[in-house]
Structure 1
């Protein structure tokens, strides 16, 4: 087996933390992947992976080797792509993941425009409210909201969204509008996603942070349900600005405590490709930046 293919197998096994999953990604059998890694370790005279019955993890040497292996593989792919013209015209299938509601409202219009512009392309959209592992699930691009924990990803900023407290005009008329965060303790609250009977809502920026411990009257696993309950006048909820932009514009919800809002959260599109991305990803990123920068600036 050539060294380039061996490096691809090593990267896949390291990223998926398993020989079976890494082998599937490389379209090989697990025994072939296991043999390739064993031969690589033997040639180097060092163990790259720790093996257990449940999981594979990198040794210190393996972590250093993974960084260099990724760089080498990406540079070779970029060289090949330049020669065969992949950077000139988008071809193939593009897969993009994003949070469910953000994906429906913002990513879908971008993808429709993209496919109209490049009719030879095909696409897959995966909208889920969880962090999708790009390597393990074979995804090209991801839209992420918030600060990135994985520094190995290449991130392109698209804009920002805010965390806002909202209530219906009817609720605010009956119960009054909170003037500062501590006033929330006297209101009916609706909490989404985190099924914890006691929650801390943080306000202010890093230089002037305020935390209020609250007990929601209603907890729900979806933001949609929390927003609907707020629209119906049950209480106040806290969500991201894009999630209630339509309700605010239509006057069905009003923002409270705006001067205490935390610092905005970045919206970024991320990928794992090297310095020179393929035409299909680069074209989508350029289109997303053009379409979303204006939309997000209004939120």
Structure 2
């Protein structure tokens, strides 16, 4: 029989000096109380109580063991309470992982704002190293993973945090030298810079959607920051996240290409572990990210 259960029963008997009173307090039968005490005596190998027809008293060994059991049960209760309270406080370590290209966008600014607002939470933020398995981040000790693909997996919980708008751009200097395409078909006549995650550019929406496969890219780079730098230097046309390019679009250094065929935004999802109770630090982080991005909607980046 479970040692902690019989210890609790024994402590209750020691307090009340009665099997029947202990049974009432524990909401179990008197015979079960007697069996618990007998089982504990077998486990420890000594007699713990003196039984008479009218009363129950502790032996010397029983008095000693009752003190020990009270201390152990009290420490367990205290630790359970401390863990429960820590779960419900916005503090501790929060581990987050996301693809490199997302982390180098303004998600980094959002996390920096979160760290400033919640100094009791220690942030561990890792870029890259993502697995194809949706729940792998949990096994590796992360609390939250960011994705841009729609996940349907009962092993995880998913929250849509924001949208990441994209834009097809070129440098103003490139457009002056080479002109700007007026149709998606004309992209084949231009130098195009490609991210390996985007071998096919989806442009437009609804019935106007077209797909352009970049056949002979002038440059392939797996960093949108690098691609943006290449675009700024006039190396060609590229599909990049809109938010980091807002200021250069506003200044005219960058020019939106085929604005009548704007690429669709990509949803940003935060994925975390299932369970009946989300840790407070995780819940606060998800709420903060949602509000942070909502205060900077995609429309403001246009």
TM normalised by structure 2 equals: 0.63
Q: CA deviation at 1:168?
A: 0.3
Look up the match of 1:122: 122
Shift of 1:187: 0.9
Q: For each residue in 1:66-113, what CA deviation from the matched residue of structure 2 results, as whole angstroms up to 9, or x when unmatched?
A: xxxxxxxxxxxxxx7898224531232001122335324433333333
Is the contact made by 1:81 and 1:87 (CA closer than 8 Å) also made in structure 2?
Answer: no
* Structure 2: stretches of 5+ with no match in the other structure: 3-79
Does the 8 Å contact 1:161/1:296 carry over to 2?
Answer: no
Aligned-partner Cα distance in 1 for 2:81–2:183? 56
Scaled by the length of structure 1, the TM-score of the pair is 0.63
Task: Quote how far apart the aligned CAs of 1:184 are.
Answer: 0.3
- Corresponding residue number in structure 1 for 2:245: 244
Seen in structure 2, the aligned counterparts of structure 1 residues 220 and 108 have a Cα distance that, compared at 3 Å, is: closer
Q: Is the 8 A contact 1:191 1:216 kept in 2?
A: yes
**Which residue number corresponds to residue 282 of structure 1?**
283
Query: CA offsets per residue over residues 192-212 of structure 1, 9 Å max, x none?
Result: 2359xxx43332335443223
Q: Displacement of 1:278 after TM fit? A: 0.8
Partner of 1:164: 167
Match of residue 68 from structure 2: none
CA deviations over 1:146-204 (Å, ceiling 9, x no partner): 32364533122222123321100011112112122111011111112359xxx433323
Change (3 A) 1:293 1:237: same
2:178 to 147, 169, 175: 175
Residue equivalent to 2:26: none
Aligned to 2:205: 205
Aligned partners of 1:147 and 1:265 also within 8 Å = no
Gaps of 5+ in 1: 3-79
Partner residue in 1 for 2:149: 146
CA contact (8 A) 1:106 1:292 kept: no
Question: In structure 2, what is the equivalent of residue 91 of structure 1?
Answer: 91
Question: Which 10-residue stretch deviates more, 129-138 or 86-95?
Answer: 129-138
**Larger Rg computed on CA atoms:** 2
- TM superposition shift of 1:238: 1.2
Q: Secondary structure at the match of 2:294?
A: helix
CA contact (8 A) 2:155 2:274 kept: no
Answer yes or no: is the 8 Å Cα contact 2:202–2:264 preserved in 1.
no
Distance 2:274 2:255 in 1: 42
SS state of the match for residue 295, structure 2?
A: helix
CA spacing shift, 1:251–1:276, aligned 2, 3 Å:
farther
In the alignment, the residues of structure 1 paired with residue 144 and residue 292 of structure 2 have an alpha-carbon distance, to the nearest angstrom, of 16
